[in-house]
Amino acid sequence: MEERVRQYHVEATSFVSAAVLPPKALKAMNGLRKFIHKNQDYRFSDKEKAKLFGAVEAYFTIFDRNSDRTNTNESDANKPTSLPLIEDALKVPLFTTKQKSTMLKWYDELHKEEGGHNTQSRETDGTARHPWSEEDDWGNPDEWGTEEQSDGDGIEKKDTEKEIPQVQQDSNTKMKLKNKKR
């Protein structure tokens, strides 16, 4: 596994030093994406994590920081970017917190360049919406499980303190007695 990580790192850093970006750089970046996704449960050493992070950083440098080197005749909308690689790297539990915070900065930088197409926080009419608004059936997640309920006798109980029905208690008692006899 260490050899494959080293290969990805060497390949990515070789593209950084190239004067003109070779066409196989995009294919190599997609290969790294697949590798990270397939091996997200593998326990990499700190050295291997650093090399994988270095490869991600190299592709960010190639495609987004030095975008004038990408010798393509495509419009800005179709220009290759490292955004999918960074998104995938953020989703897996492979990288350290410090590495992920750096990648989050890159992610934010790329979204600012694209005009911030964040559709999840916008409604269809374009107005900003709080994640738990009045229209939402679920309510505020911070308040889940804190509501008190009443069973009609004037004594209120929390959700976690509900009584077990008598039938279930009787069957539990019978099971315990049965297990003791064995």
- pLDDT at position 65: 81
- pLDDT at position 23: 80
Task: Please give the sequence-ordered ranges of beta strands (E in DSSP) within the chain, or none if there are none.
Answer: 148-150, 156-158
- pLDDT at position 20: 73
- pLDDT at position 135: 55
Rg of the chain (C-alpha set): 27
DSSP string, 80-141: --SHHHHHHHHHSTTS-HHHHHHHHHHHHHHHHHHT----TTB-TTS-B--SS-TT-SS--G
Token code pair at residue 59 = 């592709």
Q: Determine which helix (DSSP H) or strand (DSSP E) holds 86, and give its type and residue range.
A: helix 83-91
CA distance 167 to 128: 50
Amino acid at 142: D
Helix %, strand %, coil % for the chain, to 5? 60, 5, 35
Token code pair at residue 79 = 């220009």
- pLDDT at position 124: 39
Block residue for tokens 């039938």? 167
Walk along the chain (182 residues) and give the pLDDT tens digit of each residue.
889 999 999 999 888 887 777 788 889 999 999 999 999 899 999 999 999 999 999 999 988 887 655 555 555 666 788 899 999 999 999 999 999 999 999 999 888 876 655 444 333 344 444 555 555 566 666 677 665 555 555 555 555 555 555 555 566 676 777 777 66
Question: In the beta sheet, which residues pair with residue 157?
Answer: 149
- pLDDT at position 158: 54
CA distance 116 to 118: 6
Phi and psi (nearest 5°) for 82?
Answer: -90, 5
